[in-house]
Amino acid sequence: MNMSKPVIGCFSPSGCILLLSLVFSTGINPVQAQENVEKTQGGLLIKFGSAQVELAAAAAEALRLSVAYGGSPRFIPSSFLADTNAANPIPWQMVREHGMIGIRTKAGELLISPRTGEWTLLNAGGKVLIPRHEMGGLDQETASGNTNVTIRLGWNRHQPIRVYGCGNGADTLQQSQATTGVSNGRAVIPYYWSAAGYAVLAVTADDNQPARWQGATNGEYLTWTFPGPEAELYLMPAVSLKEAAEAYARLTGFAPVPPRWAFGYLQSRWGWKNRAYIEDTLKHFAELKIPVDAFIYDFEWFTTEPDYEVPPEGVPGYTDFGWNTNLFPEPARQIQDYKNQGVHFVGIRKPRLGNADSLAMVRSNRWNLPGKPAEKFQARDVDFANPGLREWYVTQSASLLRDGIDGWWNDEGEGTYTTYFYWNLTEAEAWQRYRPGQRLWTLNRAFSPGLQRLGAAAWTGDIRSSWPALAETPTSLLNWSLAGMPYGACDIGGFLGNPSPELLSRWMEAGVFFPVMRSHSEINSTPRFPWLYGTNALYAIRDALDLRYRLIPYYYSLAHETFQTGLPLMRPLCMEFPDDPRVADLSDEWMMGDSLLAAPILQPGGKRSVYLPAGRWYAFGSNRPLKGKRTLEVTAGLDEIPLYVRAGSILPLGPVIQHTSQLPGGPLELQIYPGKDAAFTLFEDDGETTDYLKGQVRRTTFVWQAKTGRLSWKTDGPYAGPDIFRSLHVVLFAPRNKIETQCALSASGSLVLRP
């Protein structure tokens, strides 16, 4: 071991040891001074030569291990964390066990040896989650110029080091190391969940220099490396990925419910030519009955030329906060007219400026983000972390927001690790000022922990139009779901190149089961307009979009669940079936919520294998049960999607509509897939404002009793807008025959459905 680096570690005992513990409540029985242990407001401070360690109660589900050299550990304010000033301190007790001292909370215990520095984490039941590893090192002086802190976490030497939730730095769900950072469509975060039963988030003194981790070759420990003399680990005992998701969301922030239109189809384009082109495209969608809820515009909405050739000093007269009149001669009127047709406006933004006067002003105030000579775009980047720049940017955005822009598409913001966070914070401040009460929605090319709490989504960047790119996309999005970003997207069809009709059709079908369904392409590629790819592709894509829109009541209810629990909409099977080793690294099929198993075609030819976990399943829309824990060989026509529903599910579906503004558009179809009891809560609100945060929600809880064949429901909540469902079409997929009935969706009621 390199003793010149400060190390704090843990040891894996070879046998079972009965530990005796003495528990002291805070404020009673002073800690022995000779141990160099002091009490702090949130826990204990232990000194090891030039190093000091604090064990603290951080949150209801989290304990904090802090290390500092040359000073006392401190709570490090971080953009990663949702609440840096907890209103209520977390109760804790001091604990002594087997020569170790530490703290106990409802979450578990964090213990350290005041003599050697070895440490361990236990859950609330006393189970060791992170075994001790005898490395010491805390009493060693740091070498001159060495500013890294290294914290080692013990590991079961008989198990390979594989964890979940680090982001999309690898092409698998299970990962063995993570080099934290952001780039084009890549977000790797300093977090993971281990099947040992805990999750961990690392915080450094500078969010823009995040910690990284790597597993040891002998498998005995995992090492976190922190730049600088300070380090914090937030440790969250969590027996499952679901528990970890909630604990992590409580720490970094729950994702708010997006506007309802964001669950529809979003048509992005680089190369909108003029107003007539936009309106002709609108006409095609309407006449061909292809659902769509937003047009997303590239550079051309605000400028006649991209800014890639703009020099570092900018160009006189360049428009950063205005309109290209070729497309939008009457922006407010046009946006409202298009919205009346159900199509919202989302515009691209860059983290830089092109106007020479604005750039000079920004640099004179030191509001710029210094760029490297080779990075000519970053030479014009602004520093959104600066409050002065944010205030200026907010005021510059006023007229755009007043004209009716519905969301932002934030691109090329990888200048720092937290650029997207502070950029979104700026947009949120502008939204609060000029669009008060309206939900913010943004789409970003990467993210850091905490971005989700600002109303952000992320997409996987400038991918190629290829079958391998399609096949890789679910893994990236699932890894993002586990990393705390529940709203992931991709450039359906690929950004670079032209997909075949088959490839675009299959990509659209997969997109039905992505949290955000958006297509896009670069300016020289064929636009991803469905009618440009032949009749067969058009019909297949339209069918897929019709299914997407029918699923919106289900997805929107899942979004409310995400806001309340932190559980993502798009889930790997290992999150729902943690005891099945066959799904531990399976990512070419996935769950939407806990009911739908999507297995779209990701390879040419229309064939694939589908693994059904244990239990009973149904093909979507079928009353023929399928036995689980087996693999099916499936052949699907171009307009078919392998899709399965878990027995004991209630699935709410809407009617076929052209845009979400037409909801409810008819009765709510409630599909019941029997086999065991089931329940589902449908959430409805106005879909636009933040009033749901004030309780303006309608919740209808449906309960299916398998034994009696009774469906009952009860509604609560004050929301009663015109967009709520008022009638019900019930479909029971009984094994012998399908049963259907209709009734009013009253405040409460019940039906008995028998074959």
302-336 pLDDT, tens digit each: 999 999 999 999 999 999 999 999 999 999 999 99
Selected residue with higher pLDDT from 3 and 310: 310
> CATH code for 7-252?
2.60.40.1760
Interatomic CA distance for residues 470 and 495, integer angstroms: 11
- Residue 300 CB: number of other CB atoms within 10 A? 23
Is the pLDDT confidence value at 11 over 90? Answer: no
Is the pLDDT confidence value at 744 over 50? Answer: yes
Written as six digits, the tokens of 540 are 């297949």
Selected residue with higher pLDDT from 423 and 144: 423
**Which pLDDT score, from 0 to 100, does residue 582 have?**
98
**Which pLDDT score, from 0 to 100, does residue 15 have?**
28
| Ranges of each domain in the chain | 7-252, 293-535, 570-646
35 falls in which pLDDT band (50, 70, 90)?
A: low
**Contact (Cβ atoms closer than 8 angstroms) between residue 506 and residue 600:** yes
591-642 pLDDT per residue, tens? 999 999 999 999 999 999 999 999 999 999 999 999 999 999 999 999 999 9
**Which pLDDT score, from 0 to 100, does residue 631 have?**
98
83 falls in which pLDDT band (50, 70, 90)?
A: confident
Selected residue with higher pLDDT from 82 and 157: 82
The three-state (H, E, C) secondary structure of 390-447, written as one string: HHHHHHHCHHHHHCCCCEEEECCCCCCCCHHHHHHHHHHHHHHHHCCCECCCEEECCC
**Contact (Cβ atoms closer than 8 angstroms) between residue 235 and residue 198:** yes
Which is it for strands 590-592 and 596-598: parallel, antiparallel or unpaired? antiparallel
**Which pLDDT score, from 0 to 100, does residue 115 have?**
85
146 falls in which pLDDT band (50, 70, 90)?
A: low
Return the H-helix or E-strand segment holding 673: strand 668-673
**Contact (Cβ atoms closer than 8 angstroms) between residue 460 and residue 491:** yes
Is the pLDDT confidence value at 675 over 50? Answer: yes
Phi, psi of 190 (to 5 degrees): -80, 65
Nearest C-alpha neighbor of 506 from the set 461, 537, 464: 537
Which is it for strands 616-619 and 698-705: parallel, antiparallel or unpaired? unpaired
Selected residue with higher pLDDT from 76 and 350: 350
Instruction: Work out the average pLDDT over 502-523.
Output: 98
451-460 pLDDT per residue, tens? 999 999 999 9
Residues 6+ apart with CB under 8 A from 509: 540, 544, 600, 601, 641
Which is it for strands 668-673 and 649-653: parallel, antiparallel or unpaired? antiparallel
Give the position of tokens 């503004």: 661
Handedness of CA 372, 375, 381, 387 (dihedral sign): negative
Interatomic CA distance for residues 592 and 570, integer angstroms: 5
Return the H-helix or E-strand segment holding 104: strand 100-104
Name the β-bridge partners of 193. Answer: 164, 199
Report the side by side order of strands in the sheet with 148-154: 7-8, 148-154, 221-227, 212-215, 177-178
In the chain, % of residues over pLDDT 90: 83
Written as six digits, the tokens of 583 are 């799904």
Instruction: Work out the average pLDDT over 425-445.
Output: 98
Is the pLDDT confidence value at 7 over 50? Answer: no
Written as six digits, the tokens of 62 are 């989290």
Instruction: Work out the average pLDDT over 671-682.
Output: 97
**Which pLDDT score, from 0 to 100, does residue 29 have?**
33
Same fold, 7-252 and 570-646: yes
The three-state (H, E, C) secondary structure of 349-382, written as one string: ECCECCEHHHHHHHHHCCCECCCCCCCCCHHHEE
Written as six digits, the tokens of 376 are 């000519």
**Contact (Cβ atoms closer than 8 angstroms) between residue 687 and residue 259:** yes
Is the pLDDT confidence value at 5 over 70? Answer: no
Interatomic CA distance for residues 433 and 437, integer angstroms: 9
377-420 pLDDT per residue, tens? 889 999 999 999 999 999 999 999 999 999 999 999 999 999 99
Instruction: Work out the average pLDDT over 535-545.
Output: 98
Is the pLDDT confidence value at 32 over 90? Answer: no
Q: Which of 7-11, 160-164, 174-178, 563-567 has the lowest mean pLDDT?
A: 7-11
355-373 pLDDT per residue, tens? 999 999 999 999 999 876 6
442-492 pLDDT per residue, tens? 999 999 999 999 999 999 999 999 999 999 999 999 999 999 999 999 999
**Contact (Cβ atoms closer than 8 angstroms) between residue 163 and residue 193:** yes
Q: Which amino acid is at 436?
A: P
70 falls in which pLDDT band (50, 70, 90)?
A: confident
For domain 293-535, give the CATH superfamily. Answer: Glycosidases (3.20.20.80)
- pTM of the shown model: 0.94
**Which pLDDT score, from 0 to 100, does residue 136 have?**
41
Interatomic CA distance for residues 104 and 96, integer angstroms: 10
Name the β-bridge partners of 671. Answer: 651, 731
Nearest C-alpha neighbor of 475 from the set 342, 334, 558, 585: 585
Written as six digits, the tokens of 328 are 């939008």
In the chain, % of residues over pLDDT 70: 92
The three-state (H, E, C) secondary structure of 305-353, written as one string: CCCCCCCCCCECCCCCCCCCCCCCCCHHHHHHHHHHCCCEEEEEECCEC
Q: Which amino acid is at 379?
A: A
**Is domain 570-646 classified as CATH 2.60.40.1180?**
yes
242-252 pLDDT per residue, tens? 999 999 999 99
Instruction: Work out the average pLDDT over 80-102.
Output: 84
Is the pLDDT confidence value at 337 over 70? Answer: yes
Phi, psi of 539 (to 5 degrees): -65, -40
Instruction: Work out the average pLDDT over 43-58.
Output: 91
87 falls in which pLDDT band (50, 70, 90)?
A: low
